[in-house]
């Protein structure tokens, strides 16, 4: 028998590049936020709404995106989503006024909602089950890599223009639309239809094509089953609390650094970027250790233990922020938040692939929806907490309360994670 070809690895790589573009677009706003507020006369409350609006749209359109992928296949649907979120990003660089920026930010959220549910279906179709945790971690690393590159790259592009913010949006939009064409050209829903895949690689992959292959006759996702599945609700709660604490890094961390520590733009960009590089390491570690835990502890605890451990570490990191007043120490603790938070992402993806069956895209969309509702709530809640408790004499006081709230939420997340199990596939009557 011929040696297996490596097209499955290329598919994971291409999907990872899609995730890179996803986060370049997503993080851009927080980097140039101060310039936008000054140029467009946007208030801090309106700015918090811009940050939050993305996550509301992103959250609410997760399940529809996953269902479209399950029904029509990732090749068409993910290509279209990538094109349209990139178009909305590019148009933000040409927009003026709060209303236009808000509408386009909502558009970005609607179309970016398809990225990870569709990517999960790609992994199930192209990767054997024993390697899905690592593959999920690698694709998720793409998002964190995009987020880590974005602060410094965005600041460099923006600083070369007079207005200080429009050009990065236009550049990222153009790159993403070109990337959509490349993805459509290379990707195939079913490994058996790809001209570069040989029979030996098909044997390695196995029969996993259901989730990425179009199913035109497929009905809507079994939402009534989802709604009564206890492990899914626990996983959703873990996602909600995880994103509530993590989103601080990519939204209001630059504001904190400026207002409390008076850190200049260039340094702020690096302080925001460095934790996201640590997140990359956490993604890879979480993927590998989740697969090891699955083999060592079985389906009951194999995904639950890595999820719970990640929440505990994030909680300790935020507690450390209460005792670390200097900006550099806070940045290091944000590195631990990013590492531990992303450590828990790969087990969530792998769990959805373990139990999701044909509806893996919609299932991950459900859990991701609740996660991004947490991200949507966080900027508004954090802004209110910070403004309520700050004083003119001590601008750090409000942020200390924010850190304490973020730490306390992780205790609940760790407990919820212990009830997540891969023992029973979702969709069978016993799962409900």
Window from 20-34, 152-166, 286-300, 357-371 with minimum mean pLDDT: 357-371
Closest CA to 143 of 8, 21, 59, 314: 21
Residue 216 clears pLDDT 70, i.e. is over it:
no
Task: Judge contact between 140 and 280, C-beta under 8 A.
Answer: no
Domain boundaries, the chain: 7-431
Question: How many of the other CB atoms lie within 10 Å of CB of 429?
Answer: 6
Looking at the chain, the number of H-run helices and the number of E-run strands are 19, 0
**Dist. CA 50–CA 28, nearest whole Å:** 12
Chain-centroid distance, C-alpha 156: 24
pLDDT tens per residue, range 47-60: 888 888 888 888 88
Tell me, what's the pLDDT at 62? 81
- The alpha helices in 95-196, defined as continuous H runs, are 98-112, 115-126, 132-159, 166-186
Task: Name the token pair of 290.
Answer: 């989740």
Mean predicted confidence (pLDDT) in 320-335: 90
Closest CA to 369 of 224, 203, 236, 223: 236
Residue 105 clears pLDDT 50, i.e. is over it:
yes
Residue 432 clears pLDDT 50, i.e. is over it:
no
The pLDDT confidence band at residue 339, using thresholds 50, 70 and 90, is: very high
Give the angle 349-63-118 at the CA atoms, nearest 5°: 50
Closest CA to 12 of 143, 138, 183: 138
Closest CA to 26 of 133, 154, 126: 154
Task: Name the token pair of 307.
Answer: 């999820």
What's the DSSP call for residue 275? H
Closest CA to 317 of 415, 236, 410: 410
Instruction: Encode burial over 132-155: b for 16+ CB neighbours within 10 A, e otherwise.
Output: bbbbbbbbbbbbbbbbbbbbbbbb
pLDDT tens per residue, range 226-257: 888 898 899 999 999 999 998 888 888 888 89
Rounded-to-10 torsion of CA 274, 279, 285, 286:
170
**Dist. CA 191–CA 73, nearest whole Å:** 13
What's the DSSP call for residue 180? H
Closest CA to 318 of 329, 307, 334: 334
Task: Name the token pair of 45.
Answer: 């409350």
Question: Candidates 1.20.1250.20, 2.40.30.260, 1.10.150.120, 1.10.220.10; correct CATH number of 7-431?
Answer: 1.20.1250.20
Those residues whose C-beta lies under 8 Å from the C-beta of residue 292, and which sit 6 or more positions away, are none
Tell me, what's the pLDDT at 273? 84
Closest CA to 244 of 416, 72, 359: 416
DSSP labels, 59-75: HHTHHHHHHHHHHH-HH
| pTM score | 0.71
Q: Bridge-partner residues for 148, per DSSP?
A: none
What's the DSSP call for residue 2? P
Residue 312 clears pLDDT 90, i.e. is over it:
yes
- The alpha helices in 61-131, defined as continuous H runs, are 62-72, 74-92, 98-112, 115-126
Q: What is the CA radius of gyration of the chain?
A: 21
The pLDDT confidence band at residue 220, using thresholds 50, 70 and 90, is: low
Question: How many of the other CB atoms lie within 10 Å of CB of 186?
Answer: 14
Tell me, what's the pLDDT at 207? 59
3-class secondary-structure state, position 417: helix
Task: Judge contact between 311 and 242, C-beta under 8 A.
Answer: yes
**Dist. CA 150–CA 30, nearest whole Å:** 10
Give the angle 28-324-35 at the CA atoms, nearest 5°: 25
Question: How many of the other CB atoms lie within 10 Å of CB of 96?
Answer: 10
């Amino acid at each position: 028998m011929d040696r297996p070809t490596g097209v499955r690895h290329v598919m994971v790589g291409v999907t990872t590049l899609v995730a890179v573009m996803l986060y370049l677009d997503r993080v851009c706003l927080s980097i140039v936020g101060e310039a936008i507020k000054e140029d467009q006369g946007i208030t801090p409350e309106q700015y918090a709404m811009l940050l939050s609006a993305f996550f509301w749209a992103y959250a609410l359109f997760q399940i529809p995106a996953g269902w479209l992928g399950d029904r029509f296949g990732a090749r068409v649907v993910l290509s279209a989503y990538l094109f349209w979120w990139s178009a909305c990003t590019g148009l933000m660089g040409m927009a003026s006024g709060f209303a236009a920026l808000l509408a386009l930010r909502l558009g970005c959220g609607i179309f970016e909602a398809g990225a990870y549910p569709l990517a999960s279906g790609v992994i199930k179709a192209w990767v054997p089950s024993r390697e899905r945790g690592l593959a999920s971690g690698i694709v998720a690393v793409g998002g964190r890599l995009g987020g880590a590159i974005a602060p410094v790259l965005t600041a460099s592009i923006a600083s070369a223009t007079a207005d200080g913010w429009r050009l990065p949006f236009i550049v990222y939009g153009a790159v993403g639309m070109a990337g959509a064409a490349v993805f459509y050209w290379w990707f195939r829903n079913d490994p058996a239809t790809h001209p570069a895949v040989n029979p030996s690689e098909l044997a390695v992959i196995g029969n996993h094509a259901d989730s990425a292959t179009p199913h035109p006759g497929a009905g809507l996702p079994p939402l009534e089953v989802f709604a009564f599945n206890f492990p899914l609700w626990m996983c959703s709660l873990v996602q909600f609390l995880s994103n509530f604490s993590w989103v601080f890094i990519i939204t209001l961390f630059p504001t904190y650094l400026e207002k409390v520590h008076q850190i200049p733009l260039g340094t702020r960009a690096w302080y925001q970027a460095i934790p996201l590089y640590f997140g990359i390491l956490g993604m890879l570690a979480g993927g590998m250790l989740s697969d090891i835990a699955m083999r060592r502890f079985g389906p009951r605890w194999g995904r639950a233990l890595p999820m719970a451990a990640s929440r505990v570490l994030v909680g300790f990191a935020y507690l450390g922020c209460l005792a670390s007043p200097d900006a550099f120490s806070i940045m290091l603790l944000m590195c631990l938040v990013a590492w531990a938070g992303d450590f828990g992402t790969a087990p969530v993806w792998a769990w959805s692939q373990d139990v999701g069956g044909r509806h893996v895209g919609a299932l991950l969309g459900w859990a991701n929806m609740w996660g991004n509702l947490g991200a949507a709530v966080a900027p508004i809640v954090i802004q209110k907490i910070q403004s309520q408790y700050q004083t003119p004499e001590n601008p750090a006081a409000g942020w200390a309360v924010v850190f304490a709230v973020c730490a306390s939420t992780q205790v609940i997340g760790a407990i919820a994670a212990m009830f997540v199990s891969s023992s029973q596939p979702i969709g069978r009557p016993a799962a409900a």
